[in-house]
Amino acid sequence: MAPRTPPPAGPDRSHPAEAAALRTAHRICPLCEACCGLSLTLEGERVVAVRGQSDDVFSAGYLCPKGVALKDLHEDPDRLRTPLVRRDGVLAPATWDEAWAEIARRLPPLQAAHGRDAVAVVAGNPVSHKMGLLLVLPALLKALGTRNFFSASTLDQMPRQLVNGWMYGHWLSNAVPDIDRCDWLLVIGANPVASNGSLWTVPGVRDRLRALRRRGGQLLVVDPRRTETAALADEHLAVRPGTDVFLLLGLLHTLFDEDLVRPGRLADLMQGLEAVRAAVAPFPAERMAPRCGVPADTLRRLARSLAATPRAAVYGRMGTSVQAYGSLCAWLIELLNLLTGHVDAPGGLMFPQAAAFAANTTGAPGRGRGIVTGRHRSRVAGAPEVFGELPLGCLAEEIETPGTGQVRALVTIAANPVLSAPEGERLARAFDGLDFMLSLDLYLNETSRHADVVLPARSPLEDGHWDVAFTQFSVRNHARYSPPVLAADPAHPPEWQQLLRLAAIAQGQGAAADIDALDDALAEHALRQAQAAAEAAGTPGIDAAALRAAIGRWRGPERLLDLALRCGPWGAAARGEADGLTLERVAARPAGIDLGPLAPRLPELLRTPDGRIALAPPALVADLARVAQACATEPTDTADATHPLRLIGRRDLRSNNSWMHNLPTLAKGPDRCTLQVHPDDARRAGLADGARARLVRGDQVLEVPIEWSDAVSPGVVCLPHGWGHDLPGSRLAIAAQRPGVNLNRLADGRERDPLSGNAVLTGLPVRLERVV
Ligand SMILES: Nc1nc2c(c(=O)[nH]1)N[C@H]1C(S)=C(S)[C@@H](COP(=O)(O)OP(=O)(O)OC[C@H]3O[C@@H](n4cnc5c(=O)[nH]c(N)nc54)[C@H](O)[C@@H]3O)O[C@H]1N2
Ligand SMILES: Nc1nc2c(c(=O)[nH]1)N[C@H]1C(S)=C(S)[C@@H](COP(=O)(O)OP(=O)(O)OC[C@H]3O[C@@H](n4cnc5c(=O)[nH]c(N)nc54)[C@H](O)[C@@H]3O)O[C@H]1N2
Ligand code: SF4
Ligand SMILES: [Mo]
């Protein structure tokens, strides 16, 4: 991959005095899944420049404008530096002691009076990027003991996790396209050139896609919009929003129909092939084509190419996930790859092997407990728990509906559901009805403005960093750790300590609990788990006393990381103290340690009870009944005459979900919150390019600027999510200047994929009206 580093506004090195005062620090970017290595130039405690770290073993110098904006984020005067506590209805700055005292005064009595489920937790997207949050959140959830746990996963990737779990035995056993060795890549419902990849940690993806084509490979994109990724492709297929299940069934049916099923090396590991054949039999390409808008001969041609190309992969993401058929889509995509022999094969889809924290790497190889869902259900809708979570689309009704188990208190952790979840306006009203709300956030924003106490996170540059989640989805195995770049105010506790203190309060230990003791208990717990995993794996036992002493130089998440590295596949426990990975050894190499290209991991990775790949999980096969039912009606472009258009989303390189809109370097440039409309539809509605229009769904109306664009298909309109920064009580001065509108006011929390609970966020039925 060729490094691509935009020229930063660098320091003047010709001036000796200035050059002497400068230092550089390596830092992994925590903002998106690409996990780029950045090189920061610092003068004292001031960030002077941000560049891509060209010798980074993983990202080789790539970065995007958001990485550069870490400087803006650090300096943003609106970023919270002290806690806020509501007094007489107003959120005012408070000391940490005052904030903890207020939480201790209000939270435990609510638990005592109304039960553990009365406190709900919402964890947002940045949790998966911060080791201090991700590694300590389980301790908080255990202390709270609530079933009402929600996260951004049910606005996003829960279908894929569920399918991973059912087929391979672990939620996070997620195969990623082995892009650098791939010759044919079908991208469905993803726009990695703008998003920088998802469940696929692949920095510099644009150059890697270009390289694929340069070596004679083919890139195909299935998307209702001709995206930045589609613009690079050999072929763009404009699928009708929400109809991928038909397209995928048409492809899979063709594999059986034309005798193209070749599972190859994995055939003996697979279980359920005949059940799949029977299940897809009613869905031939010719019958599916009119429903998805892609001709049958194209579907057949694609299926043949996939089967005939030795190094090929189908990659599906967001667009296929946030649909009513999200889990079916994830399953069918996996089947296409498996049945053509492209899983666990170089150039196809491969399973990363993370150096630390990967559950599919620990314990007995090749077999496990598998997953279960539905251990409990949401109180109002009866939605099943999946991966310990309830659907975020259920949160509003859980707060609003009286009765035993009603949610009366809420903790949001790096989450902004007022903008990112369905029915934002309703959620905001519901939050005002809570007895207590606590937000851990960087900002006073659309969600945290409802809180009674807001606890600020430190600037990311003040935390150490290891990607707990994304090393598990990376295109190459590697180990990189960044120590804190800048010193934090000692009075400002890191988030892991905030979570531990909160856990202590929830357990009745009060606000003055001994955090060091809780931290020690956390490490002891992890040590016991590591011991149990080693025993289950039958590997040489772990000497707990020696390990405890070895990791003792670290505290908090770093200690857990050192332990996980030592006990991981490249760790000192397996490879000896002299050669194995330890945090010290990783930290000594700021540009990272390359652990090589992805290597085959089946059957070792499997954690299903029978040690096989479950091709036909019964719940997924049964869910095809919904598709059969839909196929019983005539295919139409529009289901609803009053809402003839379909609304889809859009990501922009300079934006990140519902935040970062307050950072000057990202906020400049053209308005990003525009509604793209095909010129034919715009003319029909009498809407000029640049005009304002009313975007209507039921009784919800958004007034939006129109942007004519033939990148969207006729009948499709496209608006980014995460906007709507004009709500009173937020403190986001720059974002408020061009607030945009909240797309998710048009989403409906009841519209979900029934198996995973994932929200439907694409293909929303809407109409356009002129502003009069
Ligand atoms: N219509 C529509 N809706 C969508 C999507 C879509 O494509 N279309 N995408 C969905 C997806 S994929 C996701 S993941 C969700 C994301 O939705 P959320 O999980 O709500 O995440 P963000 O919108 O990124 O908001 C992150 C919040 O965390 C705060 N924050 C940032 N960094 C930190 C930190 O280090 N510590 C703390 N404590 N707080 C921090 C930010 O200020 C912000 O309040 O949105 C979903 N919503
Ligand atoms: N710059 C930037 N980067 C980000 C984020 C961000 O907000 N901004 N968010 C981060 C997060 S949390 C995530 S989860 C990832 C997501 O990363 P991706 O999965 O790449 O998500 P999107 O970029 O939203 O791409 C989804 C694509 O699906 C298309 N689509 C919509 N409906 C349908 C449909 O019915 N069928 C098909 N086939 N396609 C459809 C959309 O037009 C869009 O091009 O990005 C991450 N990276
Ligand atoms: S691509 Fe993602 S990880 Fe890389 S600099 Fe941009 S935001 Fe950071
Ligand atoms: Mo996401």
Res. 2: pLDDT tops 60? no
pLDDT number for residue 634: 82
- Of ligand 1's listed atoms, the one at least distance from the Cα of 123 is 19
- Closest CA relative to residue 616, chosen from 35, 121, 166: 166
End-to-end distance of the chain based on CA atoms, in angstroms?
52
324 three-class SS: coil
The Cα–Cα gap between 700 and 193 comes to 32
- Last residue of one domain, picked from the residues 60, 75, 90: 75
CATH number at residue 50: 2.20.25.90
Mutate to test the pocket of ligand 2, among 198, 247, 291 (most ligand atoms within 8 A of CB): 198
- Of ligand 3's listed atoms, the one at least distance from the Cα of 52 is 5
> 689 and 619 share a domain?
no
> 677 and 543 share a domain?
no
State in Å: Cα 37 to ligand 1 middle.
22
Chain segment 294-340, per-residue pLDDT in tens: 999 999 999 999 999 999 999 999 999 999 999 999 999 999 999 99
Residues composing the chain: 772
> 619 and 724 share a domain?
no
pLDDT band at 638 (very low <50, low <70, confident <90, very high): low
Nearest residue (by CA) to ligand 1, atom 30, is 414
pLDDT number for residue 16: 47
State in Å: Cα 659 to ligand 1 middle.
7
DSSP string, 687-719: --TT-EEEEEETTEEEEEEEEE-TTBPTTEEE-
The Cα–Cα gap between 72 and 86 comes to 28
**Joined tokens for residue 105:** 């005064």
The Cα–Cα gap between 406 and 570 comes to 47
> 640 and 757 share a domain?
yes
> 325 and 192 share a domain?
yes
**Joined tokens for residue 739:** 């607030």
Nearest ligand to residue 238 Cα: 2
pLDDT number for residue 8: 42
Nearest ligand to residue 124 Cα: 1
> 645 and 745 share a domain?
yes
Q: Residue 100 domain-assigned?
A: no
pLDDT number for residue 538: 84
Q: Residue 453 domain-assigned?
A: no
Q: Residue 101 domain-assigned?
A: no
Q: Residue 683 domain-assigned?
A: yes
Q: Residue 416 domain-assigned?
A: no
Handedness of CA 472, 474, 478, 483 (dihedral sign): negative
What is the total count of domains within the chain? 4
Interior/surface letters 582-616, b for 16+ CB within 10 angstroms, e for the rest: bbebbbeebbbbebeebeebbbebbbbeebbbbbb
Mutate to test the pocket of ligand 2, among 193, 223, 225 (most ligand atoms within 8 A of CB): 223
CATH number at residue 190: 3.40.228.10
> 213 and 315 share a domain?
yes
Nearest ligand to residue 222 Cα: 2
Q: What percentage of the chain carries pLDDT values higher than 90?
A: 93
Res. 505: pLDDT tops 70? yes
The Cα–Cα gap between 315 and 309 comes to 15
Chain segment 686-707, per-residue pLDDT in tens: 999 999 999 999 999 999 999 9
Task: State the alpha helices, DSSP H only, in 153-239.
Answer: 158-168, 192-195, 205-214
> 738 and 650 share a domain?
yes
pLDDT number for residue 639: 59
pLDDT number for residue 738: 97
> 753 and 654 share a domain?
yes
Q: Which residues fall within 8 angstroms of residue 77, CB to CB, at 6 or more apart? A: 733
Domain that holds residue 37: 16-75
pLDDT number for residue 630: 96
Q: Residue 190 domain-assigned?
A: yes
- Of ligand 2's listed atoms, the one at least distance from the Cα of 125 is 12
478 three-class SS: strand
Nearest residue (by CA) to ligand 2, atom 40, is 319
How is residue 265 annotated by DSSP? G
Res. 37: pLDDT tops 70? yes
218 three-class SS: strand
660 in ligand 3 pocket by Cβ < 6 Å? no
Nearest ligand to residue 64 Cα: 3
Nearest ligand to residue 421 Cα: 1
Tell me the average pLDDT across 54-67: 98
State in Å: Cα 285 to ligand 4 middle.
31
pLDDT number for residue 20: 58
Chain segment 244-264, per-residue pLDDT in tens: 999 999 999 999 999 999 999
pLDDT number for residue 635: 77
Chain segment 719-735, per-residue pLDDT in tens: 999 999 999 999 999 99
- Other beta carbons within 10 angstroms of residue 290's beta carbon come to 17
- Last residue of one domain, picked from the residues 26, 43, 75: 75
State in Å: Cα 568 to ligand 1 middle.
30
pLDDT band at 211 (very low <50, low <70, confident <90, very high): very high
Dmax of the chain from CA atoms? 77
State in Å: Cα 440 to ligand 2 middle.
26
- Of ligand 2's listed atoms, the one at least distance from the Cα of 64 is 1
Q: Residue 206 domain-assigned?
A: yes
> 226 and 286 share a domain?
yes
Mutate to test the pocket of ligand 3, among 51, 63, 473 (most ligand atoms within 8 A of CB): 63
The Cα–Cα gap between 182 and 96 comes to 52
> 186 and 328 share a domain?
yes
State in Å: Cα 519 to ligand 3 middle.
31
State in Å: Cα 468 to ligand 2 middle.
22
- Of ligand 1's listed atoms, the one at least distance from the Cα of 30 is 35
Mutate to test the pocket of ligand 3, among 58, 66, 70 (most ligand atoms within 8 A of CB): 66
Tell me the average pLDDT across 449-474: 98
CATH number at residue 653: 2.40.40.20
> 565 and 613 share a domain?
no
How is residue 354 annotated by DSSP? -
Q: What is the average pLDDT score of the chain?
A: 95
Nearest ligand to residue 447 Cα: 1
Output phi, psi for 585, to 5 deg.
-70, -40
Res. 12: pLDDT tops 90? no
Q: Which pTM does this prediction carry?
A: 0.97
pLDDT number for residue 19: 54
Res. 637: pLDDT tops 70? no
Q: Residue 539 domain-assigned?
A: yes
Tell me the average pLDDT across 596-625: 98
State in Å: Cα 128 to ligand 3 middle.
14
Which residues does ligand 1 sit against, CB inside 6 Å? 124-126, 130, 152, 155-156, 318, 413-417, 420, 440-443, 445, 457, 460, 495, 649, 657-659, 721-722, 743-744, 747, 761
Conformational region of residue 88, where left means phi above 0, alpha means psi within -120 to 50, and beta covers everything else:
left
Which residues does ligand 2 sit against, CB inside 6 Å? 32-33, 125, 156, 188-192, 194-196, 198, 222-225, 227, 239, 241-242, 244, 317-320, 323, 648-649, 651-653, 655-657, 762-763
